[in-house]
Amino acid sequence: MKIFTTLCGVALLICGALTAQSPDRMTVKFSTPVMINGATLPAGETTIDVVHSAGNLMLSFHSDSGENASVLVNRLTDTASEDQPRVILDRTGNTYRLNRILLTDHTALQVLDAQ
């Protein structure tokens, strides 16, 4: 069931666009509101910054409408080969939550917080 909800989240994002601008900054267009660490980011353009701080790795989200959120992540090796970075969401009912981001260099940024 978890695989199905993850695939539903991925399918929903196919309508959006994720563009890599630099290794530490990406822009995504969410087609639906997304929960990130307790904050709800609205549908629309969101900038994602990878923040390296005191040995921790975080993602900082800034939506064009002004909402912000941050979440701790862990860098993992991923065997999937991606042409473009991809955001993976989990779906529970009508709520979409950030699960991980797959990068083109065979790594993934996996959310650590329970949300």
pLDDT in tens, the chain (115 residues): 566 555 455 444 443 444 444 458 999 999 999 999 989 999 999 999 999 878 889 999 999 999 999 999 999 887 776 788 889 999 999 999 999 998 888 889 999 865 4
CA angle 103, 111, 9 (to 5 degrees): 70
Separation CA 59–CA 47 (nearest Å): 10
pTM of the model: 0.74
Separation CA 38–CA 79 (nearest Å): 30
The dihedral built from the CA positions of residue 97, 103, 107 and 109, taken in this order, carries a sign that is negative
Separation CA 83–CA 17 (nearest Å): 13
Place of tokens 């969401």: 89
